[in-house]
Amino acid sequence: MKLATYRDGGVAKTGIIVGDQLIDTGLSQSMIALIADWTNLRPKLEAAAASGSSSPLDPANLCAPVPRPGKIFAIGLNYADHIAESKVETPKDQIWFAKASTSANGPYDPILVGRTGPYVDYEAELVVVIGKAGKHIPADRAHEHVFGYCVGNDVTERSWQHRTHQWTLGKSFDTHGPFGPWITTSDEVSDPHALDIQCLVNGDVRQASNTRHLVFNVWEQIAHLSQAMTLEAGDVIFTGTPGGIGAAMKPPKFLKAGDVLRTEIAGLGVLEATLEAEA
């Protein structure tokens, strides 16, 4: 099933995506509440999806599937080609940083080039949405805690990222955490480690890889994070980006106002946003 959050007259609602059609869930709960109560709500939503009562989907009305996640974490240096272009050694330990929940952005909403941060870069990523809460989750049971998957882009302001050894500020500018366009539930993704992923800027392919090249796979990531904290329903994990970032190009090519950033993962959908200068 594909589940989305969308705008309807300024009100955020949850919906089911079937092809190019949108079916309102009829629920008053937020996406986080829906995920937390999935076992009970699933039969009702499956019945709604089969009812045929729908309206045409307008992608412009889609919000981030989880508009304000409790936690957004992202892993750094997790594809071999990205490690090589960054001119560093393969990490022995997983490198994690937080993205502020206010960075969450809709799949077709503008991405801002900040007044104080013009060196904006792209990082196409597979995003995991946690379903079942847990701590100290074994890697061989991590799949039980995944609600679903999204397309994401860990948009980064490079000058802020590298001012200090802590990356959080450079990763947390408003609008710099787009993901979506919906959550594809885990039962529809046979293997999250076999998905083609790419990123295009103005139609030019900048990144093209497959999630089989992750250094630390999704299950290892969940197991590692959950040693430190309880993962909760609706938490979001950005799982790493392949090579091809703008900062590594010669000369570097950063995003600017007017650029169109497109991120795709096979079977999960597309994000497409225009860069805009912050007012």
Q: Is the pLDDT of residue 231 over 90?
A: yes
Percentage of residues in the chain with pLDDT exceeding 70? 100
Percentage of residues in the chain with pLDDT exceeding 90? 98
pLDDT tens digits, residue range 165-203?
Answer: 999 999 999 999 999 999 999 999 999 999 999 999 999
Query: Where in the chain is CATH 3.90.850.10?
Result: 72-277
Q: State yes or no: cis peptide before 118, omega within 30 of 0.
A: no
Distances from the Cα of 216 to the Cα of 76, 95, 239, 240, 259, angstroms: 10, 10, 9, 9, 32
Band (pLDDT 50/70/90 cuts) for residue 53 is: confident
Task: Give me the pLDDT at residue 25, please.
Answer: 96
Q: State yes or no: cis peptide before 67, omega within 30 of 0.
A: no
Residues 6+ apart with CB under 8 A from 64: 5, 104, 105, 106, 107, 177, 178, 179, 180
Dihedral sign (CA 31, 66, 179, 125):
negative
> pTM for this structure?
0.97
- Cβ(182)–Cβ(61) under 8 Å? no
Task: Give me the pLDDT at residue 52, please.
Answer: 73
Identify the CATH homologous superfamily for domain 72-277.
Answer: Fumarylacetoacetase-like, C-terminal domain (3.90.850.10)
Band (pLDDT 50/70/90 cuts) for residue 7 is: very high
Identify any residues that bridge with 255 across adjacent strands, giving them in sequence order.
120
Q: Is the pLDDT of residue 51 over 90?
A: no
Task: Give me the pLDDT at residue 119, please.
Answer: 98
Mean residue pLDDT across the chain: 97
pLDDT tens digits, residue range 115-145?
Answer: 999 999 999 999 999 999 999 999 999 999 9
Region 6-34 average pLDDT: 96
Identify any residues that bridge with 76 across adjacent strands, giving them in sequence order.
95
